[in-house]
Amino acid sequence: MCRNSLQGRSSRGRDRTVNTTARGLNIGATVVKLGAIDWESFPGPSSYDAARVPRALTAVAQAASRQEAEEAYDCLLFAVGNNHRGTVYPSALGALPILLRVALDGGVWAKWAALEILQEFSHFDSEAGFENFPTKDGEIVELASAIDNGLTQALDLLVPCILDGRQEEIVRVSALKLAGAISVEHPILAAGLQDMPERSEHGAFDAERRNYLITRGLR
């Protein structure tokens, strides 16, 4: 269940402090301005509740355990789409850069939740009737293409996280799975993965690394 207010929760067990502010989330050294986004400006079906989106994003950023991360994952996917149908609403586009910031600067379980959600964004369909939507400026946005473009641009930021052996393995595995779901090839990532020695303590990451290289004909 999403929490409406996360004030007063302990930060014990997190590797970074994440606080709520009047208008956003303080993630590491970055304040994400949730209140600056007009979630009601995004169209959606009758089940879309704009007020749920910032609460769900806050839950993702504050996740401090696997259980909280899984709950936040479900909350967010139902706030900006229909997880049962595997669809996203236009508000997913507004959530994407915030999730990326959490994936880069949040705590371990917050990173994991954000990366897992972004993986779903990479292959979920647009909600029927909202494949294209108008912005406040009158521009028509193709939702699937806009999400793909956002994820492609995010790949440059994710590469250091994937190649950094000091990162937690669950985070590196999720980041690499997301990179694998993004169709654009990244030569620096491919070269780094090819040159990386296998380590017995990184079994899950090495398995995903092999899968990434094999599916791209690089191994």
Between 37 and 36, the more confident residue is 37
Residues 145-171 pLDDT 10s: 999 999 999 999 999 999 998 899 999
Phi first, then psi: give them for residue 81, nearest 5 degrees.
Answer: 180, -160
Q: Average pLDDT, stretch 161-187?
A: 92
Percent of the chain with pLDDT over 90: 70
Please check whether residue 11 lies inside any domain of the structure.
Answer: no
Q: Are 194 and 213 in contact (CB under 8 A)?
A: yes
Please check whether residue 172 lies inside any domain of the structure.
Answer: yes
Sheet holding 30-32, edge to edge: 18-20, 25-27, 30-32
Please check whether residue 216 lies inside any domain of the structure.
Answer: no
pTM for the whole thing?
A: 0.85
Buried b (16+ CB within 10 A) or exposed e, 190-216: bebbeeeeeeeebeebbebbeebeeee
Predicted local confidence at residue 178, as pLDDT? 95
Residues 74-121 pLDDT 10s: 999 999 999 999 999 999 999 999 999 999 999 999 999 999 999 999
Predicted local confidence at residue 140, as pLDDT? 95
Predicted local confidence at residue 15, as pLDDT? 36
Q: 212 is written with which tokens?
A: 């990434």
Signed CA dihedral, 100, 105, 108, 110: sign only:
negative
Q: Are 189 and 218 in contact (CB under 8 A)?
A: no
Rounded CA-CA distance 26/17 in Å is: 8
Number of domains in the chain: 1
Count of C-beta atoms within a 10 Å radius of residue 66: 13
Q: Which of 135-139, 173-177, 188-192, 205-209 is predicted least confidently?
A: 135-139
Range of the domain at 40: 18-185
Please check whether residue 25 lies inside any domain of the structure.
Answer: yes
Rounded CA-CA distance 103/118 in Å is: 9
Between 100 and 5, the more confident residue is 100
Please check whether residue 65 lies inside any domain of the structure.
Answer: yes
Please check whether residue 49 lies inside any domain of the structure.
Answer: yes
Predicted local confidence at residue 1, as pLDDT? 53
Q: Are 138 and 78 in contact (CB under 8 A)?
A: no
Count of C-beta atoms within a 10 Å radius of residue 44: 22
Please check whether residue 211 lies inside any domain of the structure.
Answer: no
